[in-house]
Amino acid sequence: MSAPPLLSIVVPVYNEAAGVNDFHYGHLLPALIELGETFEVIYVDDGSTDATRLLVEMIAAADERIRVAALARNFGKEIATTAGIHQARGQATLIMDGDGQHPPSEVHRFVEQWRSGAQVVVGVRTGNQREGVVKKWGSRAFYALFNATSGAEMIPRSTDFRLIDSEVREAFKAFPERQRITRALIDWLGFDRVILEFESPARIAGEATYSVRQLVKLAVNSYVSLSLKPLYFFGWVGGLITALSLIVGLAVTVEQFLLGDPLQLNFTGSALLGIFISFLVGLVLMSQAMLAVYVAHVHEQTQGRPLFVLNRSRSVGL
């Protein structure tokens, strides 16, 4: 095994046969050569069913700086990325898509930021993107809802195009959870971060393999893995309903039965029953939320995240 390079590039690829050669020889390699640093590229073949694995094997056979991690089947981009990060040996690790949408011409800017001290460099897409209406508005709605309600924060349009320092990478490798969103985990880690805007071009070839359905699943997963707030929300609603029906119920009882209905409201039996039922519904909601809090605690415990993460290179005397 040769000496660890300065830069590791992790590229998950799934059925990218139509574009991967152009990506590598036409874009990534020229950018890395121009950068003039030692590097390795780790292509993670995420169980492609086309010639992708063959193509990256051929790329790697001709160049010892290129490595291929072939997954036994399709595990999805998040896990493929993780697999690549586990293989990386560089002082800095840059994660990027293999379809050209994370332009290799930007690599030097990530490295510059890292050189000036950033431990995490987050690529954020600029606003003027050409994407489908559903994806565009869906993602806007997601970030708005997420940031307003989840209690965690996510930068809109932030991507997996990220550079992490080796210290951050080692901390990342400690995450044991199965349902994972790479960028959310990196966000959770913290460290000294810098945001870098880039313009995302169209794919080199082929179609995005993330369907709208998968994106919805990703959104739900990020939400669930990062946030416990929605669980409490329904508890509050329940509490409100119970309190209101209690007040109304008491008012009606006093007005109708103790004072003999001086306001002539003539509450019927079904109205009273209605009030009683909403009182019970409120109780049910509250107890559900109680249960949810227990589930949340179990959830958090089973996630098994580290209790804290030290920023060693910013600590003194450790």
Given a contact cutoff of 8 angstroms between Cβ atoms, the answer to whether 8 and 94 are in contact is yes
If one asks whether residue 200 binds Mg ion (CB under 5 A), the answer comes out as no
Closer to Mg ion by CB, 27 or 89: give it. 27
Smallest distance, ligand UDP to C-beta of residue 191, A: 24
Beta strands in the chain, from DSSP E residues, in sequence order = 7-13, 39-45, 66-70, 92-95, 120-125, 158-165, 193-198
If one asks whether residue 87 binds ligand UDP (CB under 6 A), the answer comes out as no
What's the CA gap between 93 and 82, in Å, rounded? 12
HEC states along 193-212?
EEEEEECCCCCCCCCCCCCH
If one asks whether residue 124 binds ligand UDP (CB under 6 A), the answer comes out as no
Residue 67 binding: pick among ligand UDP, Mg ion, none (C-beta 5-8 Å cut-off by kind): none
Cα 240 from chain centroid?
33
What's the CA gap between 31 and 221, in Å, rounded? 34
Binding residue (CB under 5 A) for Mg ion from 52, 101, 200, 242: 101
Span interacting with ligand UDP, options 96-104, 139-147, 163-171, 298-306, rule CB under 6 A:
96-104
Span interacting with ligand UDP, options 58-66, 143-151, 170-178, 206-214, rule CB under 6 A:
206-214
Span interacting with ligand UDP, options 13-21, 24-32, 145-153, 281-289, rule CB under 6 A:
13-21
Closer to Mg ion by CB, 46 or 99: give it. 99
Q: Which residues pair with 121 in a beta bridge?
A: 163, 194
Given a contact cutoff of 8 angstroms between Cβ atoms, the answer to whether 110 and 193 are in contact is no
Closer to Mg ion by CB, 24 or 193: give it. 24
Over its C-alpha atoms, the chain yields an Rg (Å, rounded) of 26
Q: What share of the chain is helix, strand, coil (3-state, %, to 5)?
A: 50, 15, 35
What's the CA gap between 76 and 285, in Å, rounded? 36
Span interacting with Mg ion, options 77-85, 166-174, 204-212, 301-309, rule CB under 5 A:
204-212
Alpha-carbon separation of residue 75 from 46, 54, 83, 96 (angstroms): 6, 18, 10, 17
Binding residue (CB under 6 A) for ligand UDP from 5, 19, 90, 98: 98
If one asks whether residue 14 binds ligand UDP (CB under 6 A), the answer comes out as yes
If one asks whether residue 12 binds ligand UDP (CB under 6 A), the answer comes out as yes
Site for ligand UDP in 209-228 (CB under 6 A): 209-210
Binding residue (CB under 6 A) for ligand UDP from 24, 29, 99, 172: 99
Eight-class DSSP state of 262: T
If one asks whether residue 242 binds Mg ion (CB under 5 A), the answer comes out as no
If one asks whether residue 74 binds ligand UDP (CB under 6 A), the answer comes out as yes
| Residues binding ligand UDP (CB under 6 A) | 12-14, 16, 46, 74, 76-77, 80, 97-99, 101, 208-210
Q: Which residues bind Mg ion (CB under 5 A)?
A: 99, 101, 208
